[in-house]
């Protein structure tokens, strides 16, 4: 099951409901009018108007007191029919069910899941036949024995009879559900507690996940929608190759301390796939994987440029922060656009146009100071979108825009480099086995220490130098401060060995006239910026760490890595010739757990709504037909809605292979598969498609009329697997679905009961 369903769209659901109810209302009124004319002839119009007016008055004159009285009478009759005998079956199942559920060989989490599944399934399927029989046979039986006649002869409206029946049966099912649910909760607690079951984990919780958006990076580091297909016929997961640039990337939103707390809890359930046997460690413990927390605005802005081969070198330069190199490459591309247009195919240019939209979106976060850069990318993207292979004029304009973009990158390259940092914090690796037990759960503190790469080292030293230089802490007179090493080790978070190295390099640069002391401050003699200056020193390997731990820096997960509420997590496989598979719900940030009682109550609420909806359908059907027909009709609607509703939606949406009903039948008869198609003439195929269109239309209508009962039952799967039942995607749709069917069903049932003859048996 996918534990990350989309949030329910209330506006779309209400709009669709209004349209459907409106259509059904118009059809019902038309049928009523035709029936009135066929029965009353010329007086049909007057009879229909009188009946319709009387029915509307009944709807708006309902007495709650009479409805409650009828509900009480319905409840009493149900008790007399021994409806509560279901508790006897329930008690017997609880007395002996535990004998067959516990298995010391099963995993602990699976044992808990089995007990919860048993309880919720028992509650649902014991109450369901009871309420189905009561709701479907109640009114027809009262009509047969003429006990309903004593009610309708009193000042009681037919709509009140319908509402009283629904309320009475729903009250009974709710009372049974609450009692069974309370007993079941105590039973689950006893079955999985350590005192009664030593193998149980000892605590029932409901995890609250925060899911992110997933995309992949291929072997070249370029973004893709999917990873590698290793041949698994179930294409739920995509794979990344080990020991390559291939990554799975999650983007989590709204990552704030108020929501996450003081630590970051990551939980995953990846799948391992191996092409070789591997080492003893990978055999015994599983293949090695690693998280990396990343903040890289250049990657976000410019990675898509490399999808088309024409601009891949420039994209690599911009991603690496070499904007001057990127400008030179773009200038070279602009010159070749007028002479070698074949080097810039139309598909590559159109891909760059989409990449410019992404760059515009990311660069807009930097503010108005970079408006000239944003404008250059916007113009470049617009002209790239207009490229036509047979139009030289479009390439000429595109060449001008490309040169203009190159000029802007030359001018603002250093500003972009300073404003678009790359921070990569690799976390401790972990193991993923083919048949691992449970999920991988790791808690990371808010403050993380990591060994910095060359860019992070240069940025850190540039920041420290600029701040201390402004505070005049670096220089004493015409020399570096004599206590600078101790001060850096004490206040800047630099190890003593690296502080010594840093001061020595500064002194060497002063002696070599790279730096100068003036007005109590250090000055760069060539007027470059501190970041650019230290990037040069790091690349020249003059700041190689003397500390075995490296240049150890500290970052704040929320302030440094998720400053805008968005956190990027890269997942890599570290073993060569191994693959790591994952889907979007396979990694999530685990928020504060909710209590098991809270999730259990939501699941019971959905079960109660499902039972009440069955009652509504049963009572509605019993107002039209007799008990047996009503029962089988309600049962058929429930079975289709529970097990086949999704199939109907797939067929209507065209996602189901094999064609329609008629085409599938012909393929079976001809012993052919869908890929080869039917062995028939074009005219015959057209006739088959026309017939299938009619069948699909019928299924479309049925999928809108028959309720999707899986909405109610799927909630149990969440707590069975240790998750909280989400309100917006599970409980709220169940509530709206129930009331969406309750209102029209009451009106239909009241109309059918009002205009039928109760004397008919």
304 lies in a domain? no
pLDDT band at 105 (very low <50, low <70, confident <90, very high): very low
* Better pLDDT: 191 or 273: 273
Task: Report the alpha-carbon distance of residue 583 to residue 225 in Å, rounded.
Answer: 11
Q: How far is CA 302 from CA 223, 313, 385, in A?
A: 11, 11, 17
252 lies in a domain? yes
- Tell me, what's the pLDDT at 761? 42
- Tell me, what's the pLDDT at 602? 93
**43 and 157 share a domain?**
no
- In sequence order, which residues have a C-beta less than 8 Å from that of residue 272 and are 6 or more positions away? 286, 287, 432, 433, 434, 436, 578, 579, 580, 581
**124 and 230 share a domain?**
no
Range of the domain at 237: 209-296+425-441
Contact 250, 566 (CB under 8 A): no
**Domain tally for the chain?**
5
**156 and 214 share a domain?**
no
Task: Report the alpha-carbon distance of residue 269 to residue 8 in Å, rounded.
Answer: 26
**14 and 26 share a domain?**
yes
Burial (Cβ within 10 Å: 0-12, 13-18, ≥19) of residue 367: exposed
- Whether residue 667 is predicted with pLDDT greater than 90 in this model: the reply is no
Mean of all residue pLDDT scores within the chain: 83
Query: Which strands form 209-211's sheet, in the order they lie side by side?
Result: 209-211, 587-590, 263-268, 440-445
Tell me the average pLDDT across 531-545. Answer: 89
**377 and 482 share a domain?**
no
Tell me the average pLDDT across 145-170. Answer: 74
577 lies in a domain? no
Q: In this predicted model, what pLDDT tens digit does every residue of 341-352 receive, in sequence order?
A: 777 888 888 888
- Tell me, what's the pLDDT at 86? 62
Which range scores top for mean pLDDT: 59-63, 293-297, 365-369? 293-297
- In sequence order, which residues have a C-beta less than 8 Å from that of residue 590 and are 6 or more positions away? 207, 208, 209, 210, 265, 266, 267, 441
Tell me the average pLDDT across 85-102. Answer: 61
Burial (Cβ within 10 Å: 0-12, 13-18, ≥19) of residue 561: buried
H-type alpha helices, 81-107 = 86-101
As a whole number of Å, the CA-based R_g of the chain is 35
Nearest to 3 by CA among 599, 708, 707: 599
23 lies in a domain? yes
- Whether residue 606 is predicted with pLDDT greater than 90 in this model: the reply is yes
700 lies in a domain? no
Q: In this predicted model, what pLDDT tens digit does every residue of 705-717 receive, in sequence order?
A: 889 898 888 888 8
CA 504 to chain centre: 53
- Whether residue 552 is predicted with pLDDT greater than 80 in this model: the reply is yes
Tell me the torsion sign for CA atoms 420, 421, 427, 433: positive
**353 and 269 share a domain?**
no
698 lies in a domain? no
Tell me the average pLDDT across 578-592. Answer: 90
pLDDT > 90 in the chain, percent: 14
761 lies in a domain? no
Q: How far is CA 190 from CA 98, 109, 184, 748, in A?
A: 10, 16, 10, 47
- Whether residue 249 is predicted with pLDDT greater than 90 in this model: the reply is yes
- Whether residue 200 is predicted with pLDDT greater than 70 in this model: the reply is no
Nearest to 410 by CA among 436, 377, 459, 373: 373
**193 and 172 share a domain?**
yes
Helices 346-363, 371-385: axis angle to 10 degrees equals 160
- Tell me, what's the pLDDT at 201? 47
pTM greater than the 0.95 cutoff: no
- Whether residue 506 is predicted with pLDDT greater than 60 in this model: the reply is yes
Residue that finishes a domain, picked among 489, 523, 550: 550
Residue that finishes a domain, picked among 441, 475, 498: 441
- Whether residue 498 is predicted with pLDDT greater than 60 in this model: the reply is yes
Q: What are the DSSP calls for 553-564, one per residue? A: EEEEIIIIISTT
Please give the structure tokens belonging to residue 536: 């040069």
Flag the least confident range among 108-117, 239-248, 417-426, 516-525: 108-117
Tell me the average pLDDT across 136-159. Answer: 69
pLDDT band at 52 (very low <50, low <70, confident <90, very high): confident
- Tell me, what's the pLDDT at 83? 58
Contact 721, 267 (CB under 8 A): no
Burial (Cβ within 10 Å: 0-12, 13-18, ≥19) of residue 409: buried
Helix (H), strand (E), coil (C) string for 388-432: CCCCHHHHHHHHHHHHHHHHHHHHHHHHHHHHCCEEEEECCCEEE
**341 and 397 share a domain?**
yes
584 lies in a domain? no
- In sequence order, which residues have a C-beta less than 8 Å from that of residue 89 and are 6 or more positions away? 126
**540 and 603 share a domain?**
no
The residues facing 447 across adjacent strands are 556
- Whether residue 152 is predicted with pLDDT greater than 90 in this model: the reply is no
Please give the structure tokens belonging to residue 68: 């409650």
Please give the structure tokens belonging to residue 696: 């699909």
- Tell me, what's the pLDDT at 82? 65
**391 and 539 share a domain?**
no
Tell me the average pLDDT across 558-578. Answer: 89
Flag the least confident range among 50-64, 177-191, 222-236, 699-713: 50-64
- In sequence order, which residues have a C-beta less than 8 Å from that of residue 26 and are 6 or more positions away? none
**285 and 434 share a domain?**
yes
Residue that finishes a domain, picked among 521, 550, 579: 550
- Tell me, what's the pLDDT at 639? 92
Q: In this predicted model, what pLDDT tens digit does every residue of 649-659 receive, in sequence order?
A: 888 877 777 67
* Better pLDDT: 697 or 437: 697
The pairing of strands 213-217 and 515-518 is unpaired
pLDDT band at 149 (very low <50, low <70, confident <90, very high): low
- Tell me, what's the pLDDT at 87? 61
- Tell me, what's the pLDDT at 340? 81
pLDDT band at 675 (very low <50, low <70, confident <90, very high): confident
- Whether residue 55 is predicted with pLDDT greater than 80 in this model: the reply is no
**352 and 498 share a domain?**
no
């Amino acid at each position: 099951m996918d534990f990350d369903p989309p949030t329910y769209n209330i506006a779309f659901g209400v709009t669709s409901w209004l349209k459907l109810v409106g259509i059904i209302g118009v059809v019902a009124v038309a049928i009523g009018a035709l029936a009135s004319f066929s029965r009353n002839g010329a007086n049909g119009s007057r009879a229909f108007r009188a009946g319709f007016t009387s029915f509307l008055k009944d709807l708006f004159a309902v007495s709650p007191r009479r409805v409650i009285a009828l509900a009480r009478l319905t409840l009493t009759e149900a008790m007399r029919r021994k409806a509560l005998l279901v508790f006897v079956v329930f008690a017997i199942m609880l007395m002996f069910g535990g004998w067959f559920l516990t298995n010391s060989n099963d995993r602990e989490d699976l044992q808990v899941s089995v007990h919860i599944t048993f309880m919720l399934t028992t509650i649902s399927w014991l109450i369901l036949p009871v309420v189905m029989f009561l709701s479907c046979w109640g009114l027809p039986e009262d009509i047969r024995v003429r006990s309903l006649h004593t009610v309708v002869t009193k000042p009681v409206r037919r709509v009140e009879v319908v509402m009283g029946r629904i309320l009475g049966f729903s009250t009974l099912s709710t009372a049974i559900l609450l009692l069974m649910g309370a007993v079941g909760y105590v039973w689950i607690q006893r079955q999985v507690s350590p005192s009664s079951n030593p193998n149980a984990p000892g605590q029932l919780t409901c995890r609250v996940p925060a899911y992110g958006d997933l995309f992949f990076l291929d072997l070249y580091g370029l973004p893709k929608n999917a990873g590698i297909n290793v041949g698994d016929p179930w294409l739920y997961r995509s794979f990344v190759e080990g020991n390559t640039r291939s990554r799975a990337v999650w983007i989590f939103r709204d990552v704030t301390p108020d929501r996450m707390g003081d630590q970051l809890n990551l939980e995953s359930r990846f799948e391992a796939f191996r092409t070789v046997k591997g080492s003893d460690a990978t055999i015994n413990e599983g293949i090695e994987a690693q998280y990396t927390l990343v903040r890289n605005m250049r990657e976000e802005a410019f990675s898509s440029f490399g999808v088309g081969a024409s601009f891949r070198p420039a994209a690599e330069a911009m991603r690496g922060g070499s904007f001057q190199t990127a400008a030179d490459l773009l200038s070279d591309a602009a010159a070749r656009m007028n002479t070698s247009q074949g080097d810039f195919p139309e598909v590559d240019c159109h891909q760059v146009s989409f990449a410019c939209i992404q760059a515009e979106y990311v660069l807009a976060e930097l503010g108005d100071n970079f408006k000239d850069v944003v404008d250059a990318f916007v113009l470049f993207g617009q002209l790239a979108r207009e490229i036509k292979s047979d139009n030289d004029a479009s390439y000429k304009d595109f060449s001008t825009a490309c040169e203009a973009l190159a000029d802007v990158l030359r001018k603002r390259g250093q500003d972009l480099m300073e404003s678009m940092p790359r921070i990569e914090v690799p976390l401790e690796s972990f193991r993923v086995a083919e048949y691992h037990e449970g999920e991988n759960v790791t808690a990371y503190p808010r403050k993380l220490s990591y060994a910095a790469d060359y860019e992070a080292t240069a940025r850190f030293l540039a920041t420290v130098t600029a701040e201390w230089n402004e505070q005049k802490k670096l220089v004493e007179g015409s020399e570096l401060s004599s206590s600078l090493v101790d001060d850096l080790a004490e206040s800047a978070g630099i190890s003593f060995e690296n502080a010594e190295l840093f001061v020595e390099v500064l002194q060497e640069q002063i002696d070599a006239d790279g730096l100068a002391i003036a007005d109590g401050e250090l000055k760069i003699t060539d007027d470059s910026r501190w970041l650019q200056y230290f990037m040069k020193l790091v690349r020249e390997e003059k700041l190689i760490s003397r500390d075995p731990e490296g240049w150890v820096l500290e970052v704040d997960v929320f302030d440094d890595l998720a400053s805008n509420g968005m956190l990027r997590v890269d997942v890599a496989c570290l073993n060569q010739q191994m693959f790591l598979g994952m889907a979007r719900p396979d990694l999530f940030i685990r928020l504060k757990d909710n209590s098991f009682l809270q999730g259990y109550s939501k699941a019971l609420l959905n079960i109660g709504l499902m039972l009440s909806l069955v009652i509504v359908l049963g009572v509605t059907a019993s107002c039209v037909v007799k008990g047996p027909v009503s029962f089988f009709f309600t049962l058929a609607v429930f079975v289709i809605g529970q097990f086949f509703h999704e199939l109907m939606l797939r067929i209507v949406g065209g996602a189901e292979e094999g064609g329609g009903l008629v085409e599938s039948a012909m393929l079976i008869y001809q012993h052919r598969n869908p890929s080869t198609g039917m062995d028939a003439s074009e005219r015959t195929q057209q006739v088959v498609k026309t017939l299938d269109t009619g069948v699909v239309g019928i299924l479309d209508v049925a999928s809108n009329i028959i309720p999707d009962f899986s909405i109610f039952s799927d909630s149990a799967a969440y707590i069975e697997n240790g998750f909280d039942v989400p309100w917006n995607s599970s409980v709220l749709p169940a509530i709206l679905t129930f009331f969406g069917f309750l209102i029209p069903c009451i009106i239909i049932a009241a109309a059918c009961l009002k205009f039928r003859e109760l004397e008919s048996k």
